[in-house]
Amino acid sequence: MSLFNRMMASVGIGAAKVDTLLERTSYSPGDEVRGVVRIYGGSVDQQIEGIDLSIMTYYIKEVNDSKLKQNVELGKVRVSPPVTVRAGENREIGFSFYLAPNTPLSIGRSPVWIKTSADIRSSVDPTDNDYIEVVPTQPMHMVLQAIESLGFKLREAETVYAPRIGDSSPFVQEFEWVPYGGAYRGQLDEVELVFLRNRGSELELLLQIDRRAKNLFGLFAEAMDTDESFVKVVVKEADFAQGPQYVASLLNNVISRYSH
Span 125-144, pLDDT tens digits = 568 899 999 999 999 999 99
Most confident of 29-38, 175-184, 204-213: 29-38
Task: Give the pLDDT score at 220.
Answer: 39
Burial of 145-172, coded b for 16+ CB within 10 Å and e otherwise, reads ebbebbbbeeeebbbbbbeebbeebebb
* pLDDT band at 38; cut points 50, 70, 90: very high
| Cα 40 from Cα 235, distance rounded (Å) | 48
pLDDT at 29 over 80: yes
Q: Shortest CA distance to 196 belongs to which of 168, 176, 177?
A: 168
* pLDDT band at 199; cut points 50, 70, 90: confident
> Does residue 6 or residue 62 have the better pLDDT?
62
* pLDDT band at 61; cut points 50, 70, 90: very high
Percentage of residues of the chain with pLDDT beyond 90: 60
Look at the pTM and tell me if it is higher than 0.75: yes
> Does residue 205 or residue 221 have the better pLDDT?
205
Task: Give the pLDDT score at 67.
Answer: 87
pLDDT at 70 over 50: yes
Domains and CATH numbers, the chain: 3-134 (2.60.40.640), 138-257 (no CATH)
Output the 3-class SS for 150-189: CCEEEEEEEEEECCCCCCCCCEEEEEEEEECCHHHECCEE
In sequence order, what are the residues at sequence separation of 6 or more whose Cβ sits closer than 8 angstroms to the Cβ of residue 191?
A: 147, 152, 176, 177, 179, 184, 207, 208, 209, 210, 255
* Alpha-carbon 101 to chain mean position: 9
Q: What is the mean pLDDT of the chain?
A: 86
